[in-house]
Amino acid sequence: MDTKSLSFFAVFFILFLVIFAEVPEIEAQLCMREYVGEFPLSNCSVLEIQLCHTKCRENNGAKGGICYVAGEGEDEQRTESFKCLCNFCSEYFCQI
């Protein structure tokens, strides 16, 4: 009898952890969205970080924006692309 109740609570506890382990990732996806509109980024300099932040606030109704550097490939063949992500949850801006 004790083994069955212990097993039940163990399964319940693991299920609880699995469900709530995904919440921060889902919340982050809702907060950060790529800037919609023309915004050619050549790099993530201080000027472009501020411009991304301002454009997100003015044009997309976000609270802020960040400059994101995404790279593909290995070493010499590596190509980088720069993106502006609008933050709809906080006013924090920086380079990632």
- pLDDT (tens digit per residue) in 61-91: 888 888 887 766 666 665 667 888 888 887 6
In a domain, 35, yes or no: yes
- pLDDT (tens digit per residue) in 44-59: 788 888 888 888 888 8
The overall average pLDDT reported for the chain is: 73
In a domain, 43, yes or no: yes
Three-state DSSP class for residue 86:
strand
In a domain, 47, yes or no: yes
In a domain, 17, yes or no: yes
* 32: containing domain: 2-87
pLDDT on residue 77:
60
Q: Does residue 96 carry a pLDDT above 60?
A: no
Main-chain phi, psi angles of 83, to 5 degrees: -130, 155
CB 53 within 8 A of CB 96: no
In a domain, 95, yes or no: no
Query: How many structural domains is the chain composed of?
Result: 1
Q: What percent of the chain stands above pLDDT 90?
A: 0
- For residue 70, count other CB atoms closer than 10 A to its CB: 10
In a domain, 93, yes or no: no
CB 34 within 8 A of CB 28: no
Q: Does residue 95 carry a pLDDT above 50?
A: no
Side-chain-side CA neighbours of residue 22 (13 Å):
5
In a domain, 96, yes or no: no
